[in-house]
């Protein structure tokens, strides 16, 4: 029997590509170029499956033009806001994602940003690096202590739960807002809030770990930021769309927020040039899951889903 033909849209880990080539007739992208909607539509007529990343957009207009040959979109990401799931379901295309395997890596980056924002890491690094470090005194570069503070987690899914565990290592008191309260064994002492309004005033640090959906877009707007304690710090490793970026700038400029740590932006790649003028905003280019171990695990998870699909089973991470 001939192998299913698979298009892997971006350059993935070597181990992933080797395994994919063993089991599929693979079209790779060694130059790691970005595909347009037209590329996606063209390729859909040439393959049975696509393994994309969040950089490829399957919006309703693109999905409508997909060739019926393509049967499954096996995402190399946990977030699927780049996919119009309703449109894909309507076309009878199976969609999967890669949950679980990136929780540790993403929580590491959230912790890095939390600590970096609190202790002025971007400002300090830039000062030393540029040769501008010419003084020291007890009043120099004073930041916000993390130990013992209250951490509010929005979205207590897999990444949120790992973040809570890491925060406990800093003796933080963990509060969370989630659609449903977790069982006690998973809560591990974290305090449940049934609304965002209840969580915000107790969040010295607020870390976002929920997906971007129609309901959560712009969740952290001016109103929400104003409900945080004065001098709070916002961390976003989930999706840029969760935050009203203009409102965030205003909250930083007014001193309402002491700092922010961001791995995600409304515009990616690129980010928000206005943020770059603020040294108290620590920024990374969407690298929450970018570790060797996690890239292999994400690739393998996507391939596991494809294997299940093409052997007639139901992929573990089937969304539609």
Give the catalytic positions in this structure. Answer: 239, 268, 286
CB of 183 to ligand DGY, least distance (A): 25
- Cα separation values, 137 from 41, 123, 133, 134, Å: 61, 16, 12, 11
Minimum CB separation of residue 272 from ligand DGY in Å reads: 17
Closest distance to ligand DGY from the beta carbon of 257 (Å): 23
Distance CA 139, CA 108 (A): 30
Q: Residues 231, 257: contact at Cβ < 8 Å?
A: yes
Q: Which is nearer to ligand DGY, 37 or 53 (CB)?
A: 53
Cis peptide before 112 (omega within 30 of 0): no
Least separation in angstroms between residue 31's CB and ligand DGY is 20
DSSP code for 260: E
Distance of CA 135 to the CA centre of its chain: 38
Q: How far is the CB of 34 from ligand DGY (least distance, A)?
A: 14
What are the tokens at 232?
Answer: 């709070």
Rounded to the nearest whole angstrom, what is the least distance from the CB of residue 56 to ligand DGY in the complex?
Answer: 11
Q: Is 120 in the site for ligand DGY (CB under 6 A)?
A: no
SS3 191: strand
Q: Does 82 bind ligand DGY (CB under 6 A)?
A: no
DSSP state of 27: E
Binding segment for ligand DGY (CB under 6 A), chosen from 30-38, 71-79, 133-141, 225-233, is 71-79
Residue 223 CB, nearest distance to ligand DGY (Å)? 26
User: Among 35, 44, 77, 216, which residue sits at the site for ligand DGY (rule: CB under 6 A)?
Assistant: 77
CA 136 – CA 305 distance, rounded (Å): 55
Going from the C-alpha of 200 to that of each of 115, 143, 193, 235, 294, the distances in angstroms are 19, 21, 10, 13, 31
Nearer CB in complex with ligand DGY: 16/77: 77
Stretch that binds ligand DGY, among 22-30, 63-71, 76-84, 214-222 (CB under 6 A): 76-84
Question: 54 or 209, CB closer to ligand DGY?
Answer: 54
Contacts with ligand DGY by CB under 6 A: the residue count is: 8
Binding mask 234-253 for ligand DGY (x = CB under 6 A): --------------------
Q: CA 135 to CA 48: how far, in whole Å?
A: 62
* Candidate list 7, 12, 19, 54; residue touching ligand DGY; CB under 6 A: 54
Q: Which of 50, 72, 78, 252 lies at the binding interface for ligand DGY (CB under 6 A)?
A: 78
Stretch of residues binding ligand DGY (CB under 6 A), selected from 75-83, 113-121, 223-231, 309-317: 75-83
Q: Is 102 in the site for ligand DGY (CB under 6 A)?
A: yes
Q: Which of 4, 52, 79, 261 binds ligand DGY (CB under 6 A)?
A: 79
Would you report the helix, strand and coil content of the chain in percent, each value rounded to 5? 35, 15, 50
- The span from the CA of 75 to the CA of 317, in Å, is 10
Q: Which uninterrupted H or E stretch holds 63?
A: helix 60-64
Question: DSSP character for 17?
Answer: H
Near ligand DGY by CB under 6 A: residue from 103, 289, 294, 305: 289
Coil, strand or helix: which one is 120? coil
Residue showing the smallest CB distance to ligand DGY in the complex: 79
Alpha helices, H only, 91-242: 103-118, 121-129, 158-168, 184-187, 196-199, 222-226
List interacting residues with ligand DGY (CB under 6 A): 53-54, 77-79, 102, 288-289
């Amino acid at each position: 029997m001939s192998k299913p033909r698979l298009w892997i849209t971006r350059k993935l880990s070597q181990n992933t590509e080797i395994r994919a080539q063993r089991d599929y007739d693979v079209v790779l992208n060694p130059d790691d170029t970005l595909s347009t909607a037209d590329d996606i539509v063209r390729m859909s007529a040439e393959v049975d499956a696509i393994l994309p990343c969040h950089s490829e957009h399957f919006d309703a207009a693109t999905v409508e033009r997909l060739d019926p040959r393509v049967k499954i979109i096996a995402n190399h990401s946990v977030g699927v806001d780049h996919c119009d799931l309703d449109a894909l379901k309507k076309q009878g295309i199976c969609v999967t994602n890669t949950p679980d395997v990136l929780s540790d890596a993403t929580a590491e980056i959230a912790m890095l940003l939390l600590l970096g924002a609190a202790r002025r890491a971007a400002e300090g690094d830039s000062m030393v690096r540029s040769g501008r470090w010419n003084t020291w005194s007890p009043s120099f570069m004073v930041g916000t202590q993390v130990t013992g503070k209250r951490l509010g987690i929005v979205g207590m899914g897999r990444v949120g739960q790992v973040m809570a565990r890491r925060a406990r290592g800093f003796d933080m008191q963990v509060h969370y807002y989630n659609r449903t309260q977790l069982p006690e064994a998973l809560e591990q002492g974290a305090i449940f809030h049934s609304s965002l309004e209840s969580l915000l005033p107790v969040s010295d640090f607020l870390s976002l770990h929920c997906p971007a959906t129609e309901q959560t877009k712009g969740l952290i707007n001016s109103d929400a930021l104003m409900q945080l304690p004065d001098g709070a710090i916002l961390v976003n490793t989930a999706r840029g769309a969760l935050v009203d970026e203009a409102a965030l700038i205003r909250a930083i400029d007014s001193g309402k927020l002491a700092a922010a740590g961001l791995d995600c932006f409304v515009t990616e790649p690129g980010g928000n040039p206005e943020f770059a003028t603020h040294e108290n905003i620590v920024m990374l280019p969407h690298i929450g899951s970018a570790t060797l171990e996690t890239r292999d695990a994400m690739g393998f998870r996507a391939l596991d889903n494809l294997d299940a699909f093409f052997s007639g089973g139901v992929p573990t991470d089937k969304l539609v």
